[in-house]
Every structure is written in C-alpha cells, then in structure tokens.
Amino acid sequence: MKTLVVGLWGAALVAGAIGCGDKQVAKAPPPPREIEVVQLAPSPVRDASEYLGTLMSRQSVTVLPQVAGYVRKIHVRPGQKVEAGAPLLDVDSREETAALETAKAQRTSSEVNLEQARRTRTRLESLYKEGLASAQELEQARAQVEALEANTRAAAATETQREVQLQFNTVRAPFAGTVGDVLVRMGDFVSATTPLTSVAQADVLEVSVSVPAERARTLRPETPLEVLDESGKVLLTSTVFFVAPQADPRTQLVEVKAAFRNTVGLRPAELVRARLVYNTRNALQIPALAVVRQSGQPFALVVKEKEGKTVVERRPIQLGTLGELAYVVEGGLKEGEQVAVTSLQALRDGAPVKVKAQQSPAAAQAGAVAGGGAAGGSR
C-alpha cells in the first residue's frame, strides 16, 4: 500500500511538470512590424498626354536649275552648311557666255555709231546756221541720232539680260542652311524640272502632332508642348501656336504645331516624342512602389487605428496617370491618410504595425527605389 501511494504521488508530480512545460512552450504574439508611411496631401499635377511628333523645318526647299545644260562643277557635299547665296553647282554656261559676248559687241557697235551720228548732227547744225546745209539734212541727222540712241539702249538691255541669264548657270543657296543629298553628278544633263539637292534651315524647327478632336477642343493659346528624348526626359519646351481649324476627315485627328529654337541638334523630318500639357491641378499622389496589384486591381495599405492598435487596411484604389515618381489618385484615398511604403509583401490586411516615420511621396519613392522596392512582387 505504501508503495502504491508513493507511485501515485510521483505520477501527479510528473503530470504537473508536463502541464507547466506546455505553458512555457506557448509562443507570444510577434511585435508589430515597423514600417514607413507617407501622409497624403494635395500637390500640383499635370493633365498631359504624349504623342508622336514630326519635326519640320520652317525653311526647306528643293533646289531646281533655271537653265538646261550639263553639270560642270559641284561645289558642295551632302550635309554641308552653307550661307545664303553660296554656289551649289555650275551648269554648262558656254552658250550663255557666247551670247553675252555677242550682246556686248552689239552694244559697243551701237555706241560707236551713235557717237559718229552725234558728231554729224553737230556739224550739220553749224552748217545750217551758215546756210550751207538744208533743213532736211539736219532733220535726217537728228533722226539718225535718235534711232541709234534707241538701238544702243536695246543693246544695253540685251547685254543685261544675257548677264542675268548667265548668273542662272551657277545655282546658289536661297538662304543659309544645310545641304541635303546631292542628286546629280558631274556630266549629268539637267533641265528646269530636275531636282538638284535641297537646303533646309534647322536653327528653328516646328513640331507637328495630331491629337483627338475632343482633346483639341480643350487646347488654348500658349498651351505648353514638350519634346522628349527616348527615356522621357524633357529636351525642349515650347508653346502651341497653331491648331488646325478642321479635323482630318480620314483620321478625325487635329494637327497642332509648336515652334522652338533647335539647341540640341535635332533634324527636320525626325520623329520625336511630344507631350502636350492640357491643364495643371491639385490632386493626391501615391508613390508608384506603394501600390500593390492583384488581378489587375490596385490596392494601397492604409494605416488605421482599430481597437487601440495601429493596423494596416488593404483598400482598393483608382489610379490616374503615372508621373515621374507617383500615380495620381482618382479615388479610394483621402487627404491626410497615411499609406505604407515599406514591407508591403509582408503585410496582410489587419496586420498590426508601428509607424517609423512620415515622408513626402517623392521622398518615399526615392527611398523605395534605393532600397530595392517591395511592391514589385505583389502585382
């Protein structure tokens, strides 16, 4: 009997020890996760759209000859910059040169005959005063002088015409610019309809974009237009000076133009990215990497106070355009609310958190990029 009592007492001690051990093994709840947040506040955002634009020179011509003949000399090469009046190429001018020499000889002959006729008239006038010449002879001398004066003027005009015609054999640049491709070679026969080359002025360019008609109705004078590089960086900024009065009947798009001084080496006929800024307004923005996507629906983790605890609430939101650092919030969030920007993958709806610091949306976006980002894998 004594042995049985001792055994029962030992079993009771063992059971008690096991019960105490179970209480010690039970895990305590994890501490709230420390996160960084941003507090939403309105900031200026732009209502802008991007289009494909075409650059055009404000001065660009295709050079044609004004005479027919064989190309004797080419003075320029493609891509060369020329001044106004600089020679581009020469067309065979031997025929025009001979015609000019003939005109000069005719003028000289007329001047000699005119001088002789004037001397004869002067002599007859003296003889007429002395009664040694008749009035008829004097009238004939005077008429001869007038006829030779007219011939001399005609010869001089013919010479001037030949000089002008000879100048056409040297094709010159109509204005300062850059030479395009030279389309003819030495010895080619050209006529007045043969394209020789082109000259384009690239110091001031126009950019032309086609926008939807409903967007064109909202345009106003001096609407900003930005020319972008391939990475989206602004190269040049200008303002709209022309909006087409009617839409293209085939595409229903409206042409819009802006001009700018070309300081970055763009070329006419180049295609560029262009952005029209229709309006500027105040709106809430959320850092791009603070957005969690699920099945295409964007969510934000909003910090809330619930039953005395700080937790995050997974809330669907509506996003607008994406800027350089953040999305425009069109719905689902309110001014003054705090949104988590770190540890997004580890947070679940209703998870307790501890707010570490508040940042501006731009600073939060920069920090998330520097830290490797946490939202990319939750989309």
Tokens of 88: 């581009």
Q: What share of the chain is helix, strand, coil (3-state, %, to 5)?
A: 30, 40, 30
Element (H or E) spanning 127, and its range?
A: helix 94-129
Are 82 and 321 in contact by the 8 Å Cβ rule? The answer is no
What are the DSSP calls for 241-305, one per residue? EEE-SS--TTT-EEEEEEEEE--S---TT-EEEEEEEEEEEEE-EEEGGG-EEETTEEEEEEEEE
pLDDT for the residue 60: 85
Q: Specify the CATH number of the domain 33-45+283-378.
A: 2.40.420.20
Measured CA distances, 39 to 73, 174, 284, 307, 344 (Å):
73, 62, 10, 21, 16
Measured CA distances, 217 to 208, 224, 226, 296, 379 (Å):
17, 15, 19, 32, 37
Are 256 and 276 in contact by the 8 Å Cβ rule? The answer is yes
CA triple 168-174-178, angle to 5 deg: 125
Q: Which of 173, 157, 146 is nearest to 59 (CA)?
A: 173
| Count of beta carbons in the 10 Å neighbourhood of residue 162 | 19
Are 378 and 295 in contact by the 8 Å Cβ rule? The answer is no
Element (H or E) spanning 52, and its range?
A: strand 43-63
Strand partners, 275: 50, 226
Tokens of 190: 């050209």
- The structure's pTM equals 0.55
Each residue's pLDDT expressed in tens, for the chain with a length of 379 residues: 444 444 444 444 444 544 554 445 556 677 888 888 999 999 888 888 899 999 998 888 899 999 999 999 999 999 898 999 999 999 998 888 888 899 999 999 999 999 999 999 999 889 888 888 888 988 999 999 999 999 999 999 999 998 988 889 999 999 888 898 999 999 999 998 999 999 988 888 999 999 999 999 988 878 999 999 988 899 999 999 999 999 999 999 999 999 999 888 888 889 999 999 988 888 899 998 889 998 889 999 999 988 888 988 999 999 988 877 788 899 999 999 999 998 888 888 888 888 885 555 555 454 444 443 333 333 3
Q: Of 2.60.40, 1.10.287, 1.10.3470, 1.20.120, which CATH number belongs to 93-168?
A: 1.10.287
pLDDT for the residue 367: 47
Q: Which residues contact 228 (CB under 8 A, 6 or more apart)?
A: 50, 234, 235, 272, 273, 274, 275
Widest CA span in the chain: 195
Length of the chain: 379
pLDDT for the residue 333: 92
Are 227 and 277 in contact by the 8 Å Cβ rule? The answer is no
Are 290 and 38 in contact by the 8 Å Cβ rule? The answer is yes
Q: Which of 311, 280, 290 is nearest to 359 (CA)?
A: 290
Instruction: Give the whole-angstrom CA distance, residue 284 versus residue 31.
Output: 32
Instruction: Give the whole-angstrom CA distance, residue 341 versus residue 330.
Output: 19
> 299-315 in b/e burial notation, b at 16+ Cβ within 10 A?
bbbbbeeeeeebbbbeb
Q: In this structure, what DSSP letter does residue 218 have?
A: T
Upper half-sphere CA count for residue 23 (Cβ side, 13 Å): 5
Alpha helices by DSSP H, listed for 130-194, are: 135-167
Write down the domain spans for the chain.
33-45+283-378, 93-168
Instruction: Give the whole-angstrom CA distance, residue 196 versus residue 99.
Output: 25
Query: Beta strand pairing status for 87-91 and 69-74?
Result: antiparallel
Query: Beta strand pairing status for 33-39 and 353-359?
Result: parallel
CA triple 53-57-58, angle to 5 deg: 115
Instruction: Give the whole-angstrom CA distance, residue 325 versus residue 322.
Output: 8
